[in-house]
Structure 1
Amino acid sequence: MSIAWLPLISLHILAAVLWIGGMLFLSLILAPLLRQTHDPSSFRLLFSAAARRFRSMVRLAIVILLGTGPLLLEIRGLSIMDPSTWPSVLLVKLTLVGLLLLFTLLHDLVLGPRVLRIGSQPVATRTAQDLFLLSVSRVVPRLALLIALAVLVAAAILARSI
């Protein structure tokens, strides 16, 4: 591979770092720190603002990753149109990426808006379905983070194998 492709590779890696690093920051630093506050409404407001800002960065990262990924495959001599020639680790990585995108969409478009609505209701009026959605909304981002870390491992293996 030519050094001329280094900016493309760097952009791809930077986008992945932005996405995974942001997930780690939100789940390991911001959420626990904000849960220690005694004002739940402040917690919700700050976390929601941070999550909205992060969501726009994630969308940019996704566009960059989906744009640079196929180009990087072509550079390495792997046709995006012929998956039969792909190494198995690439199939694993792309499957994990698909799952990560699915979890991200589920979180951002389905769970997020519902959780905001539930969070604005008095606790006493919440239904069993509301409580279930709240518990699922805590699990989905954690699963997405685990999948993202697995994508990172698959990417490292892939980089060493081709």
Structure 2
Amino acid sequence: MEVLIMAVHILVASFWIGGMLFMVLALSPYVRKLPEDVAVKAYQEVGKRYSFWGTVIGLPVLFITGVLNMKTMGVGFSDLMNSSNSYASTLHHKIHLFILTVILAFVHDFYVGPRSHLSKKFKITARVIGIINLILGISIIYLAARLRMGG
């Protein structure tokens, strides 16, 4: 069962980061070449679908499987305050970055993103939050790799 939980965690994390990379590296360069009304519609449609699967479904699944993985590794929430344990310290940082990611994802997906076509301010803010979230996601993957190597 532990392997299944870890596999689901990795699959959903791959979808989350892969979706953001797809947006930055494939969708955005293509959509920027389209007429503005078509580009706005494309971003809004893809954004809604990705927000549902990535944010509404994916982030809670990552949280649940992450907590179950902690249990599998024998780490409790009280252990996260032990800075002398490198594994718990790394996990502590990973959890903090995840919480920040969740907050930014909700702000981006349900407030700034849907309004990004209304003003340049919203458009730039959506882009900046998206890039910050991608950097946070990549940082979380790095910390996950550190955890798999012992902390």
Tell me whether the two structures share a fold, i.e. TM-score over 0.5.
yes
Q: Which among 139, 149, 155 is matched to residue 128 of structure 2?
A: 139
Find the aligned partners of 1:88 and 1:81 in 2 and give their Cα distance: 11
User: How far has the Cα of 1:49 moved from its partner?
Assistant: 0.8
Pairwise CA distance, 1:82: 4.1
Cα-to-partner distance string for 1:38-77 (whole Å, 9 max, x where unaligned)? x111111112111111111112111211111111101111
What is the alpha-carbon distance in structure 1 between the residues aligned to residue 17 and residue 51 of structure 2?
12
Maintained 8 Å contact 2:5/2:65: yes
Q: Does 1:25 align with 2:3?
A: no
Cα drift, residue 81 of structure 1: 4.5
Per-residue deviation, residues 96-137 of structure 1 (Å, max 9, x unmatched): 111111110110222123324x1xxxxxxxxxxx43333222
Identical amino acids, percent of aligned pairs: 26
Please, which moves more after superposition, 76-85 or 104-113?
76-85
Give the ranges of 4+ consecutive aligned residues of structure 1 lying more than 3 Å apart after TM superposition: none
Contact 2:47 2:109 in 1 (8 A): no
Aligned residues: 146
Unaligned ranges ≥5, structure 2: none
Instruction: Report the residue type matching 2:45 in the other structure.
Output: A
Given that residues 74 and 80 in structure 1 are in contact (C-alpha distance below 8 angstroms), is that contact kept between their aligned partners in structure 2? no
Larger Rg computed on CA atoms: 1
2:30 alignment partner, SS class: helix
Instruction: Give the CA RMSD over aligned residues.
Output: 1.6
Write the mapping of 1:75-154 to structure 2, written as runs, cut at 5 A.
75-85=72-82, 87-116=88-117, 118=118, 130-154=119-143
In structure 1, the gaps of 5 or more residues are 119-129
**Cα distance, 1:139–1:20 mapped onto 2, change above 3 Å:** same
What secondary structure does 1:36 align onto? coil
| 2:2 counterpart residue number | 5
